[in-house]
Structures are given as structure tokens and as C-alpha cells.
């Protein structure tokens, strides 16, 4: 496989207004690199959902993005509380978010399902008390 | 219709004079829940919302929207407006409630998904 172009972002866990900076920056960079609009939107939405999760659920985390000619891989890693029941968390409409988070316009239980919906590859591993690791990929059109 | 037509129909104030109001738009969605906007919206150009935080503009940016209308007299903060200008998103605000805004815009030709 060809060498990838790598981008790394740190997502703070205590600044909700800053959430989305990484996704916006990546979207801008990929647009400059000529990524097709549909793939670009899928990457932006899935990463943005993940970034929001890192900010509101995990106390922050790290995003690593690898850009290949044929796909964009995204890794989201945190050392937050973890997810006890992943199938439940993947259910549309289920949310463990607080009322405070809902008042910010999120916590409808669509975050993880959206990330899966908008990506071509999606894998989530989580250990309660240790953190969550998500790997996603979007295939690029010619 | 053009963004400037939306402003006129909703008696809305234009908060981003740097951004063109001549852009043609055909579709819109109304929601205070950004999760739902990200989940269900497809190719809508205008977001009508009563939610007021920077994630509204972030969400519109991710969805390639070109205009955000704040209803019920909500006024976005400075960070939201800076993000909007950076993302080339026109921001309007109106005193009208969400239901009336959606009805008026639908009646004048804007459509949902």
C-alpha cells in the first residue's frame, strides 16, 4: 500500500464550542486535495459525529487520519469511561447523553449509527473504564 | 428563490453582510436537533433553527449548507458568526417562530428532502 498522508488532531474534553475544529480542518484540506464532494461529506459528517462524542462523552481524545489514494481512514481513540453495551449504543435513538448535552442539540442517539451509516468500514472496540477505539474508512471515488 | 428572498419573506436581519445573498436555494430543513440534521438531511441548502451555539454552524458546514436562519429572535454569538463567514454561510435571524418560517418558505417554493 502506498504511503499515506497523515493528520493528527487532539480533541479537548472541556470545550464544547471547539468541537468540530478537527473535522472542519480536515474537510478543508481534503477539498484542496481534490476529494470528490460525496466522499468529502461522508468523511466530514462521520468524523464530526466522532469528534462530538469525544468532546461530550469521553473527556477528549485523539483523531488520526490517514489519506490514501483510494480511501480515507479515521481512528478515534480516547481514554474515557468506555461503552458497556456496544450493540445498544449502536441502536438508533438510544443515547446515554445528559439533558445538558441534549440542550446543545446533540444526544439524539444518532452519533454512532451515523458514523456507521456514512462510512464504508466501521469498527468499534471499547472497554469500560479504559476507553474506546473507533476505526472508520470512506472509499474515494475516481 | 435566492437567500435575499428568504430574508424578505421572513423579515429577517442579515448578520453576515460579507456573504452573498444572491445564492439560489431550493431546499431547507427545520430542526433544533443537530443530530437529526446530520442523520436525515440530504442536500438541503438552508437550515432553520432555534438552537444557538457554534455547533449549528459546524453542522451546516459539514452538510454543505449555504444559509442558516435563526428563529424566535435568537442571535448567534461572535464565534458562530466568525465560523459562518469562514465557511461562506449566510446567517439570517428573524423574530418569527419555526413553524411560521417553515410554512412561509414552503408556500413560496422551498422544499424538504
Q: Can you give the CATH number for the domain in which A30 is found?
A: 3.30.565.10
| Contact check, Cβ <8 Å, B39/A110 | yes
C-alpha–C-alpha distance, residues B46 and B25, integer Å: 7
Chain A touched by B82 (CB under 8 Å): no
B50 domain residue, yes or no: yes
Residue B85 lies in a domain: yes
Residue range A59-83: average pLDDT? 96
CA distances from A13 to A51, A79, A136, B48 (A): 10, 11, 21, 28
Q: Out of B33, B58, B83, name the one closest to residue A48 (CB).
A: B58
* A110/B55 CB distance under 8 A: no
Whether the CB of B51 is below 8 Å from some CB of chain A: the reply is yes
Q: Contact at 8 Å (CB) between A75 and A123?
A: no
Query: Looking at the domain assignment, is residue B92 inside a domain?
Result: yes
**CATH number assigned to the domain comprising residue B24:** 3.40.1390.20
Per-residue confidence at B43, pLDDT binned at 50, 70, 90?
confident
Residue B39 touches chain A, beta carbons under 8 Å:
yes
**Highest mean pLDDT pick, A47-56, A100-109, B36-45:** A47-56
Residues B89-99 have a mean pLDDT of: 98
Return mean pLDDT, chain B: 94
C-beta atoms of A105 and B61 within 8 A: no
Residue of A nearest to B78 (CA): A17
pLDDT of residue A106: 86
User: Band of the pLDDT at B50, cuts 50, 70, 90?
Assistant: very high
Per-residue confidence (pLDDT) for residue A1, from 0 to 100: 60
Judge whether residue B85 has pLDDT over 90: yes
Cα first-last separation, chain B: 16
For position B113, what pLDDT does the model report?
Answer: 66
Report the distance separating Cα A101 and Cα B38, nearest Å: 16
B56 touches chain A (CB under 8 A): yes
- Structural domain count of chain A: 1
Position with higher pLDDT, A110 vs B87: B87
Domain that holds residue A49: 5-139
Nearest CA in chain B to A47: B62
Q: Is residue B102 part of a domain?
A: yes
Residue ranges with strand state E in A15-108? 60-67, 71-77
Domain count, chain B: 1
CB atoms within 10 A of CB A88: 11
Three cell numbers written together for A9:
488532531
B21's CB contacts (< 8 A; 6+ apart) are: B2, B3, B4, B7, B14, B90
Residue A77: predicted pLDDT: 98
Q: Which grid cell is B77?
A: 454569538
Please answer yes or no on whether B38 and A20 come within 8 Å at the CB atom: no
Residue-range definition of the domain harbouring residue B10: 3-107
- Global ipTM: 0.86
Please indicate, yes or no, if residue B95 is contained in any of the structural domains.
Answer: yes
pLDDT at residue A32, rounded to an integer: 95
Amino acid at each position: 500500500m502506498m504511503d499515506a498522508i497523515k493528520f493528527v488532531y487532539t480533541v479537548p474534553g472541556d470545550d464544547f464550542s471547539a468541537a468540530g475544529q478537527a473535522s472542519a480542518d480536515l474537510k478543508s484540506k481534503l477539498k484542496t486535495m481534490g476529494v470528490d464532494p460525496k466522499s468529502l461529506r461522508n468523511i466530514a459528517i462521520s468524523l464530526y459525529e466522532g469528534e462530538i462524542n469525544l468532546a461530550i462523552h469521553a473527556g477528549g481524545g485523539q483523531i488520526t487520519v490517514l489519506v490514501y489514494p483510494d480511501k480515507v481512514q479515521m481512528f478515534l481513540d480516547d481514554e474515557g469511561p468506555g461503552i458497556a453495551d456496544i450493540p445498544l449504543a449502536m441502536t438508533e435513538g438510544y443515547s446515554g447523553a445528559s439533558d445538558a448535552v441534549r440542550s446543545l442539540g446533540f444526544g439524539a442517539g444518532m452519533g454512532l449509527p451515523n458514523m456507521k451509516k456514512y462510512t464504508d468500514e466501521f469498527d468499534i472496540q471499547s472497554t469500560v473504564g479504559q476507553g474506546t477505539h473507533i476505526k472508520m474508512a470512506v472509499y474515494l471515488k475516481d | 428563490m435566492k437567500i435575499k428572498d428568504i430574508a424578505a419573506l421572513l423579515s429577517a436581519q442579515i448578520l453576515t453582510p460579507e456573504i452573498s445573498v444572491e445564492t439560489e436555494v431550493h431546499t431547507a430543513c427545520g430542526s433544533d436537533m443537530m443530530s437529526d440534521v446530520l442523520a436525515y438531511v440530504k442536500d438541503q441548502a438552508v437550515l432553520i433553527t432555534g438552537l444557538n451555539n457554534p455547533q449549528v454552524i459546524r453542522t451546516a458546514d459539514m452538510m454543505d449548507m449555504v444559509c442558516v436562519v435563526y428563529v424566535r429572535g435568537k442571535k448567534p454569538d461572535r464565534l458562530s458568526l466568525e465560523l459562518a463567514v469562514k465557511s461562506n454561510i449566510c446567517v439570517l435571524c428573524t423574530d418569527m417562530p419555526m413553524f411560521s418560517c417553515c410554512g412561509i418558505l414552503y408556500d413560496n417554493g422551498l422544499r424538504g428532502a
